[in-house]
């Protein structure tokens, strides 16, 4: 087999590309592959490039794992033409809709014993290559997408053998390398961009770089997340709880609290868009949920609670109530009302005169308290009471919600560590009805604590706007909803605030929304997975793997919709970042 003209130890200089240049290259490559009669042209400045270049070309039909070819030569144009020739020699490219280009910018050469010890670098940012003779070079997205390097950065040799089967020469070379006592390898970094033939996107860590966000981007992402939920829903109404996309495996675990949250997200989408597909999916979710409603151990003659795996959880009952109230208000139908009121009676019985909620988790049917204490369940129960007030207009629910808030504020942890985003939403909702300055002041304090914990873009650039250690979808989206609630409250309640702090919160909100967009599974993000179509439009748990959990998806939907709703208020319609 012919050896590559240029390999990683030949790369000497980085190639800086302007926005117009990388997008022009992407369109030129797409037009060349498809034979389309377009106006795509090669950037003028890059005709003069005469340095050693190595380029990867990944093609995906959106259904199967992408094929990856590479080309090398003197000059970028010649290297890309070599990669295109490799693609065409295999009879591919003319009809493939998604194309990704990776230009190798730097490489570090190392040698080590051929052992199972971890590779000490970030698998999501750097690729792994072996000798020129082996022709084995793996992009970081391949390492993560097929989990060739696991979370501990250990190479799965057998899995790599399976992955390389579609490249016979590389597969044979890998079997030889596996027997070597020592191996030479390269850690390399790329500039990456992708195109679908119409648009082009600069990529970082395999995801799009968002330099400008419009409200339509937020709504579009939320809608696609809703369709992911709908496609992952069984005929009985149950959602896929956790999909490990790198292994194409689904876990059998389930959680009804998060199931109820998914129904809430779908109802939010229906409320904003009016699309019946979201209402149908939400109703399917409610129909799956309600058979888990069992006689309440607290008020057995008149109440019910949500029971799962032998336990009655306060939070599951609270979120079920919120979902049922939203459905009843959105549709003006009352067929869920009897069950809703039975669940409400259990919630009522779970609250003490002090405002505290006992029995966060009870064994069922004995009713024995398990001593489990949740930081979130009481705030979820308070929000459910405020929803019940919105539906029934009974002052007793408002009184109970206020008692619950007072108790939580009295027993709150030190301010510097108090990030109860469910309470933040409850405070904002309560202040609409009870204009107690303390509620707004406390909401402002919690929002400030949350905002101070937002990542500033260090140690990684794409951490900007995120929350959590490491940054995650659920940590970011949950806090984002709380921040949006306070921001909306200031806009509509005409309360006195520090305008500079309010404007800063606006930026914090949009940065968090941008981070969530990075986690959505776009065609170019999922192209290296075993089954790209199955993961598309979901929201990953983190930037560095492809675990897609139900709560990551539904919280991302509700978080993005919360930001979208703000765009009808006095705020910028398009946010740009440097």
Task: Report the pLDDT value the prediction gives residue 559, as an integer from 0 to 100.
Answer: 98
212 exposure class (CB count in 10 Å sphere: 0-12, 13-18, 19+): exposed
Q: In Å, how far are 52, 188, 193, 241, 397 from 103, measured between CA atoms? A: 11, 10, 9, 37, 61
Q: Determine which helix (DSSP H) or strand (DSSP E) holds 407, and give its type and residue range.
A: helix 395-410
**Tokens of residue 422, six digits:** 């469910």
Task: Report the pLDDT value the prediction gives residue 37, as an integer from 0 to 100.
Answer: 62
Closest CA to 443 of 475, 486, 473, 484: 486
Closest CA to 297 of 369, 397, 356, 400: 369
Task: Report the pLDDT value the prediction gives residue 57, as an integer from 0 to 100.
Answer: 97
Q: Are 361 and 372 in contact (CB under 8 A)?
A: yes
Q: How many residues does the chain have?
A: 578
Closest CA to 557 of 507, 517, 508: 517
Helices (H) and strands (E) in the chain, counts: 19, 17
Task: Report the pLDDT value the prediction gives residue 569, as an integer from 0 to 100.
Answer: 58
pTM for this predicted structure: 0.94
519 exposure class (CB count in 10 Å sphere: 0-12, 13-18, 19+): buried
What residue has token string 């280009």? 101
Task: Report the pLDDT value the prediction gives residue 96, as an integer from 0 to 100.
Answer: 78
Exposure string for 375-386, b = 16+ CB within 10 A, e = fewer: ebbbbbbbbbbb
Q: What is the mean pLDDT of each run of 10 residues along the chain (578 residues)?
A: 84 92 94 80 93 97 95 96 91 80 97 86 95 96 95 92 95 94 95 94 96 94 99 98 97 96 98 97 98 97 97 98 98 96 98 95 94 94 98 97 95 66 92 90 90 90 94 97 92 76 91 98 98 98 96 98 84 44
The gap from C-alpha 511 to its chain's centroid, in whole angstroms, comes to 14
Cis bond before residue 470 (omega within 30° of 0): yes
Can you name the residues that pair with 183 across neighbouring β-strands?
112
Task: Report the pLDDT value the prediction gives residue 458, as an integer from 0 to 100.
Answer: 82
Q: Are 83 and 5 in contact (CB under 8 A)?
A: no
DSSP 13-81: ------HHHHHHHHHHHHHHHHT--------GGGGG--SEEEEEEEEE-SSSPPEEEEEEEESHHHHHH
Q: Are 554 and 475 in contact (CB under 8 A)?
A: no
Can you name the residues that pair with 539 across neighbouring β-strands?
520
What domains are there in the chain, each with its CATH number? 8-204 (no CATH), 212-576 (1.50.10.10)
Report the first-to-last Cα separation within the chain, whole angstroms: 46
Task: Report the pLDDT value the prediction gives residue 572, as an integer from 0 to 100.
Answer: 41
Can you name the residues that pair with 547 across neighbouring β-strands?
244
Greatest distance between any 2 Cα atoms in the chain = 84
DSSP 484-550: HHHHHHHHHHT----HHHHHHHHHHHHHHHHHHHHHB--HHHHTTSSSHHHHTT-B-SSTTS-EEEH
DSSP 288-344: HHGGGEEE-SSSTTT-EEEEETTEEEHHHHHHHHHHHHHHHHHH---TTHHHHHHHH
Residue 526 region by backbone torsions, left for phi larger than 0, else alpha for psi between -120 and 50, else beta: alpha
């Amino acid at each position: 087999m012919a050896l590559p003209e240029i390999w990683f130890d030949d790369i000497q200089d980085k190639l800086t590309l302007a926005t117009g240049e990388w997008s022009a290259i992407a369109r030129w490559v797409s037009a060349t592959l498809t034979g389309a009669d377009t106006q795509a042209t090669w950037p003028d400045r890059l005709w003069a490039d005469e340095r050693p270049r190595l380029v990867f070309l990944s093609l995906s039909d959106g259904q199967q794992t992408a094929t990856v070819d590479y080309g090398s030569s003197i000059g970028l144009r010649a290297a890309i033409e070599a990669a295109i020739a490799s693609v065409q020699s295999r009879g591919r490219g003319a009809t493939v809709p998604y194309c990704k280009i990776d230009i190798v910018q730097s490489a570090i050469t190392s040698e080590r014993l051929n052992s199972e010890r971890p590779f000490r670098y970030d698998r999501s940012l750097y690729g792994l290559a072996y000798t020129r003779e082996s022709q084995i070079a793996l992009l970081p997205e391949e390492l993560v997408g097929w989990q060739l390097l696991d979370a501990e950065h250990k190479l799965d040799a057998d899995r790599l053998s399976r992955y390389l089967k579609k490249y016979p020469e590389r597969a044979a070379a890998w079997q030889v390398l596996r027997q070597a006592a020592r191996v030479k390898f390269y850690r390399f970094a790329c500039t990456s961009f992708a195109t679908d033939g119409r648009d082009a996107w600069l990529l970082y860590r395999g995801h799009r770089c968002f330099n400008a966000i419009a409200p339509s981007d937020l709504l579009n992402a939320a809608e696609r997340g809703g369709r992911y939920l709908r496609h992952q829903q069984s005929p009985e109404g149950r959602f896929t709880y956790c999909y490990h996309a790198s292994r194409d495996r689904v876990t059998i675990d389930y959680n009804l609290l998060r199931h109820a949250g998914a129904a809430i997200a779908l109802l939010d989408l229906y409320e904003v868009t009016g699309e019946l597909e979201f209402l149908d999916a939400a109703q399917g979710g409610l129909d799956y949920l309600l058979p888990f409603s069992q006689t309440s151990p607290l008020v057995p003659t008149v109440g019910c609670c949500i029971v799962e795996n032998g336990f009655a959880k306060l939070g599951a009952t609270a979120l079920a109530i919120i979902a049922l109230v939203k459905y009843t208000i959105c549709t003006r139908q009352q067929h869920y009302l009897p069950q809703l009121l039975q669940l409400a009676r259990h919630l009522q019985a779970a609250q003490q005169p002090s405002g505290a909620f006992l029995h966060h988790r009870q064994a069922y049917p004995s009713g024995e308290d398990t001593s489990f204490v949740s930081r979130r369940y009481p705030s979820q129960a308070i929000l459910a009471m405020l929803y019940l007030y919105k539906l029934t207009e009974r002052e007793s629910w408002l009184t109970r919600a206020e008692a619950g808030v007072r108790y939580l504020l009295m027993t709150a942890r030190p301010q510097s560590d108090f990030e109860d985003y469910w309470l933040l939403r409850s405070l904002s909702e309560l202040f609409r009805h009870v204009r107690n300055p303390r509620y707004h002041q406390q909401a402002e304090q919690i929002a400030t604590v949350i905002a101070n914990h937002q990542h500033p873009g260090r140690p990684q650039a794409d951490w900007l706007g995120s929350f959590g250690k490491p940054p995650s979808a659920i940590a970011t989206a949950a806090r984002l909803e709380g921040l949006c609630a306070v921001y909306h409250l200031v806009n509509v309640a005409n309360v006195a605030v520090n305008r500079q702090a309010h404007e800063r919160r606006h930026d914090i909100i949009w940065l968090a929304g941008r981070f969530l967009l990075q986690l959505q599974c776009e065609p170019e993000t999922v192209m290296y997975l075993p089954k790209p179509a199955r993961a598309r439009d979901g929201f990953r748990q983190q930037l560095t793997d492809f675990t897609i959990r139900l709560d990551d998806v539904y919280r991302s939907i509700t978080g993005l919709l919360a930001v979208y709703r703000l765009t009808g208020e006095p705020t910028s319609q398009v946010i740009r970042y440097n």
